Homo-oligomer: A and B are copies of this chain.
Amino acid sequence: MAPPSAMAILNHANNAPAAIGTDLAAAVAPPAMPPLGHPAPLDADEFRRQGRLVVDFIADYYARIHEYPVRPAVAPGFLARQLPETAPAKPEPNALAAALRDVRDLILPGVTHWQSPNHFAHFAATASNVGALGEALAAGLNINPFTWAASPAATELEVVVTDWLGKALHLPENLLFSGGGGGTLLGTSCEAMLCTIVAARDRKLAEIGEERIGDLVVYCSDQTHFSFQKAARIAGIRRGNFREIPTSRESGFTLSPKALLAAVRADEAAGRVPLFLCTTVGTTPTAAVDPIRELCAVLAGHDVWVHVDAAYAGAACVCPEFRHAIAGAEAVDSFSTNPHKWLLANMDCCALWVRRPEVLTAALGTDHDVILKDPSAQDGRGVVDYKDWQVALSRRFRALKLWLVLRCHGVEGLRGFVRAHVRMAAAFEDMVRADTRFEVPVPRRFSLVCFRLRSVVVGERRRRRDDAAANELNRRLLEAVNATGRTYMSCAVVGGVYMLRCAIGNSLTEEGHVREAWSVVQEEATAILATAAPATCSDERAVGNARCGMADTDAPASVLSGKKLRI
């Protein structure tokens, strides 16, 4: 499918002289100087040929991806040792084909196959045909839509598609352009957090004075992704002013409104200034859902910016049955989710919506616009200049792939996709529960199942030691499972309890892969239990009535803090 002819295009542009086509024909006569080198860096015919090589390479990869061990068995330095120390002076003949052979023979054996149907370790980085091809198309057009004028259609498509996505996710109207808010597409959740913290910070400092930056306090739970702490630190929030509020098993590891309010009041009483709360819909360790409505309610009158980080689970809101997860979001200041996680949009794509774009652009906007807004550009009033919504000036045309995904799958297609993964997770949970050696220590949420070998409790005095032993047992189980290369899972430590995480969500994953993964876990558990020391061995008969390590612990979830990585 070719773009339209020159004259059609030029007639479309209402201020282009009608005779341009002729002039241009003269202008593109053979150049008087030598071409830009061999091979020409950009060449339509060669692109067509090389593009097919790459498309076929990717298609072949998908066709055989299940044959790769999910995680490579390589040692540090394996690849660096195989490559020369300097770039070649001249390209070899058929350089792209040679390079693709090296991708096949050197690189693919050393990557973790995130698209493998057997990858259950992290919240998925779902790929789709149109997501990948949308990236390819954006890379091919290679425009830089930092302002409306720098590429009007790209900016407008982003405005349209963030409203489309927001509506598809049942977001409150006040976060959409159509309701006075608005959305943008960034790279990652950490960027979204950083941009909103900076917006909140500058608004607050404008009130209380820049010199009080050291008094600003930010809040989250001990389940919040570590990106939030990183973003707050980057924004200059003092390390001591980062409040990580402990959660507990009783509240399902969600942030307690009461505890939050107590922390805010304590800071206020001490003369500090509460600034920002990061709530999470779908925490990394257990996919817990913070109670947005109640959290916003207790903060009423405290002027704290409330952000919702729904990086993974936000996608589930395409399904009406999961919309309750963001109940109360009408009161938040900003909301982000990553379509590159569970909405087929390929890396990278984080959608951020804000209720008051003017606060964001006041902090991140710039007025050095002589070059960007050259005198002949359209009057910029009323248009969105996305450079003022993000850290950087330059940006990719991310809207294109998200638009293709929504267009080619439809909202119902996305619902079916999410529901299929949730069904598979439920099936996996059922398999775990049917094996009495195992337990499901926290409720399954969305498509994440946390599970573990039970610990044997033989008396109050021994419980603590046995918990540690059970943790060690499960750690060994995960190690053994992953060493097979047949599946790949991760772990979380919550409330002092080590558990395995099976996060379902890859585009190629089907129920057979889930069953296979469970078989691997069972086989490895049997092998480990057979060799475990008697004191820690989970005997099937004994365990049947044992209390699980989880049920008894009152330890706050922050006892071990290694649970905050989203992926």
Contact yes or no, A160 B83, CB < 8 A: yes
Contact yes or no, B393 A188, CB < 8 A: yes
Across the interface, A410 reaches (CB within 8 A) one of B26, B90, B348, namely: B90
Segment with Cβ contacts to B, from A264-272, A481-489, A546-554? A481-489
Residues in A400-441 with C-beta less than 8 Å from chain B: 400, 403-404, 406-413, 416-417, 420, 423-424, 427
Contact yes or no, B347 A3, CB < 8 A: no
Given the interface pairs A10-B485, A129-B43, A483-B15, the reply to whether A53 lies near B393 with Cβ below 8 Å is no
Residues in A349-408 with C-beta less than 8 Å from chain B: 363-364, 366, 368-372, 374-376, 378-379, 382-383, 391-396, 400, 403-404, 406-408
Given the interface pairs A23-B486, A235-B236, the reply to whether A142 lies near B154 with Cβ below 8 Å is no
The 10 closest A-B pairs by CB, nearest first: A236-B236, A370-B562, A110-B153, A51-B55, A6-B67, A135-B139, A58-B140, A136-B136, A27-B516, A376-B479
Q: Which residues of B are found within 8 Å of A282, using beta-carbon distances?
A: none
- Cβ of A300 within 8 Å of any chain B Cβ, yes or no, is no
Residues in A207-223 with C-beta less than 8 Å from chain B: 210-211, 213-214
- Cβ of A535 within 8 Å of any chain B Cβ, yes or no, is no
- Cβ of A563 within 8 Å of any chain B Cβ, yes or no, is yes
Count the copies. 2
Instruction: State the Cβ distance, A539 to closest chain B Cβ, in Å.
Output: 24
Contact yes or no, A104 B1, CB < 8 A: yes
Contact yes or no, B24 A44, CB < 8 A: no
Name the residue among A55, A104, A233, A563 with the largest chain B CB count within 10 angstroms. A55
Besides the known contacts A28-B66, A28-B117, A393-B566, 20 further A-B residue pairs in the complex with CB atoms under 8 A apart: A6-B67, A9-B68, A16-B69, A24-B67, A26-B516, A37-B416, A41-B127, A47-B132, A50-B130, A77-B156, A86-B164, A88-B406, A111-B145, A115-B141, A125-B394, A132-B139, A132-B140, A188-B395, A190-B392, A391-B391
Q: Which residues of B are found within 8 Å of A5, using beta-carbon distances?
A: 64, 67
Contact yes or no, B139 A115, CB < 8 A: no
- Cβ of A491 within 8 Å of any chain B Cβ, yes or no, is yes
Q: For the complex, give the distance between the alpha carbons of A253 and B89 in Å.
A: 35
Residues in A521-567 with C-beta less than 8 Å from chain B: 560-567
Q: List 9 A-B contacts (CB under 8 A).
A: A1-B53, A15-B483, A51-B52, A76-B382, A80-B156, A91-B409, A213-B236, A230-B364, A376-B483
